[in-house]
Structure 1
C-alpha cells in the first residue's frame, strides 16, 4: 500500500493477478485454486454487503 499520512495506508481496491504465461506449468494449478478461492470470497463479501445495505468505503485519490 501507499502511505496516507502518518497512521494509514491506502490499499489497492483490486489485486493484480499473474498472467498465465508467466506461471510455471507446475504452479498453474496452485494459482487456479488460489484465484478461485479469492473469487469466491469476493462474491460472498459482495452478497453480505448488499444484503445488509452496506456500502464499501469510498476511495479518494486526494492526499
Structure 2
C-alpha cells in the first residue's frame, strides 16, 4: 500500500506546476487518511522513486 501511495505522490508531483512535494504529501495524507508514521514511509518511498527517475538515463551509459 505504501508503494502505491508513493507512486501516486510522484505522479501528482511530476505533473503539477502548482504544488510542491510537501503539499502533495499533505493532500495524499488527507485523501488516504494515513498516520504520521505511514506518511514518513510514503515520503521515503516517494523520494526513492524520484531518485530512480532522475538516475534512469544514466544507467545505460558505458564508462570506459
* TM-score normalised per structure 1: 0.43
Q: Which has the higher strand share?
A: 1
**More RCO (CA 8 Å, sep 6+):** 2
Higher alpha-carbon Rg: 1
Q: Which has the higher helix share?
A: 2
